[in-house]
Structure 1
Amino acid sequence: MKEFNLNQELKNYAYIVFASIILALGIVGFFSPNKIITGGTAGLALLLHYITPFTIGTLITAVNLPLVIIGWKYLGKMFAIRTVITILIISLAIDFFDKVVNLNPFILEMPLASIFGGIFIGVGLALVIKGNSSAGGSTIVARIVASKTEIKPGTVILVIDSLIILSSLFIFEDTARVLYSIVSIYITTRIIDTILTGRLNKKVVYLVSKKTDELKKKITEQLGPEGTIIKGDGLFEGQDKRMILLIVEVNKLQVLRQMLKETDPEEGFLIITEATEMLGRGH
């Protein structure tokens, strides 16, 4: 059983409160006045708000709390408690800004509202995740479905968001709103990725060559000592293979290309992939 850490828990709730305020400002200041929606159950609550007399906060609570109760055992006790508290704070903050403060719209232009609304929602959701919590909704459904089937959580969330967007076609007469809603969802996902994984200017490079000893010496001299030599077997019996794994800054890739071209131009090659997240060594 994990030991309760008061300082960490206080830090979690600080993230949750700050995130809830940002989410509420994004919805009340950008989405609601421009009738743009976002993904997940927040988007569903916005859609229902446009066709019913209920407040956005009330609808977010009504949509999410039953899902949290159903998915309680899939979330874990502390995570579920934080999720319930997060949903309640977000709902109260939205209705506070909307009904009590009567917050004026930040902008009444759909293009700008979709961009900046997406940024606010992205920042808010990323901070919720940093607070070891969830804003409920599609995340819970995704966890339940993934535990019962072989469908990936990301696929479930994509399907839910798509269904919400398609449903909005029957509510909005202006299809431009639907398209700007898609823009806002895309921006939200990019912001979440950026905050949680950072903007790395590095690439993962697999360098395959029979001249790894020569390359190892040049790499150490010109790029630094960090790297790993991976040994393996080829498809043919008794065929030894060696590969160098490196994390290289983008501006040094050309140096590595030239190095390989000079050392093993006939058989050497590079495989370059994105480094989406790095942990350890100061990261």
Structure 2
Amino acid sequence: MINKKTKKDLFTLICVIIGALIMAVNIKTFVRAGNLFPGGFTGLTVMIQRIADEYFNVSVSYSFINITLNAVPAIIGYKTIGKRFTIYSCLMILLTGIFVDFLPSTPLTYDPLLIAVFGGIFNGVGIAFALRGKASSGGTDFIAVYLSDKLHAPAWNYVLGLNAVMLVVAGLLFDWNQALYSIIFQFVSTQVVGALHVRYKKVTVHIITSKPDDLSEKLMIYTHHGITRFEGHGCYSNQPRTLLYTVISTEELKEVIRFVHLVDDKAFINVMKTNSLEGRFYQEPIN
């Protein structure tokens, strides 16, 4: 019987491998075909490769540059975010580099707008896979995750601003068209990550139940979130009913609904999007 920790590590490993493969294929299929800079340390790596190639006529390994650049953020991530998160993020950096160095170049299109849009989508999906497994693609992702944990809100748009600065430099050194299309690429990627990564999004859950004592006690232990209880009367059933009110993260929602129905299979659940939240809120640690 596989224990919970082993399952968790296996799930993370699968997410990291899939994410690394998607990002590598994206680089060899879209990014290189459009001479784009995908943002973050991946984009900085590509930019350094192009500087070495065009200005010094030297071919430099993607893996070598990418691992070197990520060394400092990895150390910071290890100290501020956590050991497990950093180790798996480093594994993704390593795997992405290996895949990029060994996969053949297979461009699907040379249309810069198609490359910017679909390349951005693939890039965002690759990052989202890593984040789903509680890892990252490294570089500026360490910054985004750190800020998101501190702010309890998505910080990917802040990283988009940092990437825009790098892309301006790319425009000055190479070609403004490529740099501007790269900004589109990065914007699309950021929006995809924001849509798929729901860790910092909140929902309000209203549960009407006839088993309030049992459900509230078990649910608080299961989620570590506080619950407020309101007593009422069911107009249709003409029976006493209790409303349990709680706020959880969106990524917890499916499991919470499943758990509630295990305790009370007749519970009525209403879920509402939470746009803003003030006060204490338990966020499950990344590690």
Alignment TM-score > 0.5, same fold: yes
8 A contact 2:171–2:178 mirrored in 1:
no
Displacement, 1:140? 2.4
Q: Which residue of the other structure, out of 86, 93, 98, is the alignment partner of 2:92?
A: 86
Give the deviation of 1:66 after TM superposition.
2.8
Aligned residue number for residue 72 of structure 1: 78
Asked if the contact 2:81–2:146 (Cα under 8 Å) also holds between the matched residues in 1, the reply is no
Of the structure 1 ranges 119-128 and 66-75, higher mean CA displacement relative to structure 2 is found in 66-75
The alpha carbon displacement at 1:148 in A equals: 10
Kindly indicate whether residue 138 of structure 2 is the aligned counterpart of residue 162 of structure 1: no
Q: Post-superposition shift, 1:128?
A: 0.4
User: Counterparts in 2 of 1:1-283, with a 5 A limit?
Assistant: 5-52=5-52, 53-97=59-103, 102-142=104-144, 153-154=155-156, 156-173=158-175, 175-197=176-198, 279=253, 280-281=256-257
Cα gap change, 1:5 to 1:106, in 2 (>3 Å): same
| SS of structure 2 residue aligned to 1:176 | helix
Rounded to whole Å, the distance in 2 between the matches of 1:276 and 1:183 is 28
Match of 2:221 in 1: none
Match of 2:93, as an amino acid? I
Kindly tell me the number of residue pairs found equivalent between the two proteins.
214
Amino acid aligned to 1:281 = I
Q: Contact 2:85 / 2:135 at 8 angstroms: preserved in 1?
A: yes
TM-score, scaled relative to structure 1: 0.63
Whether contact under 8 Å (1:74, 1:143) holds in the other structure is no
Q: Which moved more, 1:55-64 or 1:79-88?
A: 55-64
SS of 2:33 mapped into structure 1: helix
Letter in 2 for 1:57: S
Which TM-score applies when normalising by structure 2?
0.63
Change (3 A) 1:194 1:154: closer
* Structure 2 gaps, min length 5: 53-58, 205-231, 237-241, 259-270, 272-287
Structure 1 residue runs of 4+, over 3 Å off?
Answer: 141-149, 152-156, 227-230, 275-278
Query: Aligned partners of 1:276 and 1:179: how far apart in 2?
Result: 34
SS at match of 1:58: helix
How far 1:113 sits from its partner (Å)?
0.9
Give the CA deviation at 1:156.
4.7
Does structure 1 conserve the Cα–Cα contact (< 8 Å) formed by 2:160 and 2:186? no
Measure, in 2, the Cα distance between the counterparts of 1:105 and 1:125: 21
In the TM superposition, what is the alpha-carbon distance from 1:155 to its structure 2 partner? 6.3
Q: Is the 8 A contact 2:148 2:155 kept in 1?
A: yes
SS in 1 for 2:38: coil
The 1:144–1:191 alpha-carbon spacing in structure 2 relative to 1, beyond 3 Å, is closer
Q: Distance in 2 between matches of 1:148 and 1:192?
A: 18
Deviation at 1:137, TM superposition (A): 0.7
Q: Deviations over 1:143-200 (max 9, x none)?
A: 6678999xx9546523421221111111223x222221111112112222332349xx
Deviation at 1:21, TM superposition (A): 0.5
Cα distance, 1:276–1:178 mapped onto 2, change above 3 Å:
farther
Q: 1:181 to 1:228 in 2, by over 3 A?
A: farther
Q: Give 1:44 deviation, angstroms.
A: 0.9
Whole-angstrom distance in 1 between the partners of 2:192 and 2:120: 8
8 Å CA contact retained: 1:35, 1:177: yes
For 1:50 and 1:85, the matched residues in 2 are separated by 25
Q: Distance in 2 between matches of 1:134 and 1:171?
A: 29
For 2:27 and 2:42, the matched residues in 1 are separated by: 9
Q: Give structure 1 stretches of 5+ with no counterpart.
A: 205-215, 222-226, 231-244, 246-274
User: CA RMSD for the aligned pairs?
Assistant: 3.8
The amino acid that maps onto 1:27 is I
**1:106 offset after TM fit, Å?**
2.1
Displacement after TM superposition at 1:57 (Å): 2.8
